[in-house]
Amino acid sequence: PNLTSIVGLPDFDYVARHYMNLSGYSYYRNGAAGEWSYRNNLEAFHRIRLRPRVLVDITNIESSLPTKILGHNFSAPFFISPCARAGYGNAEGEKGLVRGASQGNILYMVSDFSSLSKPEIQAAKTSGQVLFQQLYVASNFTETQRQLDQAAAAGFAAIVLTVDSAADGNRHRAVRFGVGSADSEYTYFTWDYYNQMRNSTRLPIIPKGIMSVEDAVKAVEVGAPAIYLSNHGGRQLDGAPSPLEIALEIYEQAPYVFNRTEVYADGGVRYGADALKLLALGVKAVGLGRPFMYANIYGDKGVKHAIDLMKREVAIDAANLGVGDLKKISPTYIDYRPNYWY
Ligand code: FNR
């Protein structure tokens, strides 16, 4: 389909389903086991309501989208989550994601298991473009140190350390095609290892995959520069909570977390209003994984189109919510009481 006929992010899933080969699509689409967490990531957004205000001055809503992430300026409060193997969707691999992110001026977090090498990815970026490097680390510190040094030397601005993958997810859908797991067997590392890593690089290290208020509090206690709420798009532990549920738990039990560190979140974000619900709770920026991987079938043009669609939806939904300045969105704009009607 022509890009002009793609009117929302879920349309890219439709394209991927029809135009990718089955093993590649299965790898992207897969959730762990019964895929409840995958579905719940999407559905949780529809279980809470917005609380719109009317007759609000929304003249400047679009100009309030730009957001700083760890001090770097971007045009929107959303980013491209780190996803492995862009080569399954596009022969040019991650190039479309790097370039699309540059054209739309949003952050791209590059997966450790990208199809292109780290130097190839750095070569594709535009001057001044900021990229973060996601890492999976093993418990061998010599190897970890090498990964940290390589990321710093390559020019990445921060490390995103994935902490939700102590073992491979059980991904039935993709295992059938031999593309079920990302890589390894078990990884053994702990908060002590995280602290050791932080003392071994000048780059900030953001733990990705925080799923409980306990760990959010722990991360703040050890001084994490930011935390990243995620259940890995439902790909690791089926039964793990959605980012919205995690953010609500933190908001109810330790709301100060949102003021003490930057909080990012991803999983199931497909519409502008999904992003707004997370931002309302205090999340600074939200990530999208699969929508951008599917959009990259079209290369940078598809990625840029996805960014434009999302920006527009965020602005339009904020306007209809009566939020005149995205920086002023707050928990009073959502209602998360149980919905007794179903
Ligand atoms: C991922 N994700 C992921 N996370 C990570 O830390 N390192 C990785 O290499 C990958 N690889 C990966 C591949 C694919 C195909 C997907 C779909 C996801 C998880 C990713 O960063 C993010 O948490 C989820 O994709 C967010 O959920 P949505 O937006 O896909 O629903």
Measured in Å, residue 83 CA sits from the centre of ligand 1 at 4
Q: Which residue, judged by its Cα, is nearest atom 25 of ligand 1?
A: 289
- Residue bearing the CA closest to ligand 1, atom 16: 83
- 157 Rama class: left (phi>0) / alpha (psi -120 to 50) / beta: alpha
CA of 109 to the centre of ligand 1 (A): 10
Q: Which among 17, 232, 294 is the best mutation to test ligand 1's pocket, defined by most ligand atoms within 8 Å of the CB? A: 232
Q: Which alpha helices (H) appear in the chain, and where do they start and end?
A: 10-19, 22-29, 36-44, 95-104, 118-124, 141-154, 172-175, 191-198, 213-221, 243-253, 257-260, 272-281, 290-295, 300-321
Residues near ligand 1 (Cβ within 6 A)? 27-28, 41, 81-84, 111-113, 134, 162, 182, 208, 230, 232-233, 235, 266-269, 288-290, 293
Residue 64, strand partner residues: none
Q: What is the pLDDT of residue 168?
A: 85
Residues whose CB falls within 8 Å of the CB of residue 192, separated by 6 or more in sequence, listed in order: none
Backbone phi, then psi, for 288, in 5-degree steps? -130, 130
Q: What is the residue with the minimal CA distance to atom 8 of ligand 1?
A: 83
CA 294, CA 263: separation in Å to the nearest integer? 26
Pairing of strands 131-135, 158-162: parallel
Question: Counting atoms of ligand 1 from 1, which one is nearest the CA of 231?
Answer: 23
Predicted confidence (pLDDT) per residue in 174-187, tens digit: 888 888 775 458 88
Q: How far apart (Å, rounded) are the C-alpha atoms in residues 8 and 153?
A: 38
Residue to probe by mutation, ligand 1, list 81, 108, 160, 230, most atoms within 8 Å of CB: 81
Residue nearest to atom 11 of ligand 1 (CA): 83
Residues annotated as catalytic are 232
For atom 5 of ligand 1, the residue with the nearest CA is 82
pLDDT of residue 176: 87
Sequence-distant (6+) residues with CB within 8 A of 268 are 38, 40, 41, 42, 43, 44, 45, 233, 234, 242, 243, 244, 274
What is the rounded CA–CA span in Å between residue 67 and residue 55? 25
In the predicted model, what is the mean pLDDT of residues 191-212?
A: 98
Structure-token pair, residue 162 = 């994935």
Span from the CA of 240 to the centroid of ligand 1 (angstroms): 15
Residue 25's nearest CA partner among 43, 12, 40, 44 is 12
Summarize the confidence of residues 135-143 as an average pLDDT: 92
Q: How far is the CA of 35 from the centre of ligand 1 (A)?
A: 14
Of 285, 281, 288, 286, the closest CA to residue 336 belongs to 281
Per-residue pLDDT tens digits for 262-307: 999 999 999 999 999 999 999 999 999 999 999 999 999 999 999 9
pLDDT score of 341 more than 80: no
User: What angle separates helix 243-253 from helix 36-44, to the nearest 10 degrees?
Assistant: 60
* Element spanning 72, H or E: strand 72-74
pLDDT tens per residue, range 228-247 = 999 999 999 999 999 999 99
Cβ-Cβ contacts under 8 Å for 214 (sequence gap 6 or more):
none
Interface pTM, i.e. ipTM? 1.00
> Kind and range of the H or E element at 334?
strand 334-335
Ligand 1 closest atom vs CA 162: 6
What is the DSSP secondary structure assignment for residue 105, as one 8-state letter?
A: T
Contact 228, 188 (CB under 8 A): no
List alpha helices for 33-75, DSSP H. 36-44
Q: What is the pLDDT of residue 188?
A: 86
Q: Using alpha carbons only, how large is the chain's radius of gyration in Å? A: 19
DSSP letter for 109, please.
E
**Span 78-124, pLDDT tens digits:** 999 999 999 999 999 999 999 999 999 999 999 999 999 999 999 99
Instruction: Report the nearest-CA residue for atom 19 of ligand 1.
Output: 232
Please tell me the distance between residue 82's alpha carbon and the centre of ligand 1 in angstroms: 6
- Annotated binding-site members: 27, 82-84, 111, 134, 136, 162, 171, 208, 230, 232, 235, 266-270, 289-290
- The continuous run of DSSP H or E covering 209 comes out as strand 205-210
Give the pLDDT mean for 247-253. 97
- Across residues 10-28, what is the average pLDDT? 97
130-136 average pLDDT score: 97
The phi-psi region of residue 128 (left if phi > 0; otherwise alpha if psi is between -120 and 50; otherwise beta) is: left
DSSP states of 164-188 as a string? S-SB----HHHHTTT--S-S-SB--
Q: Residue 322 C-alpha to ligand 1 middle, in angstroms? A: 32
Atom nearest to 113 CA in ligand 1: 9
* pLDDT of amino acid 3: 97
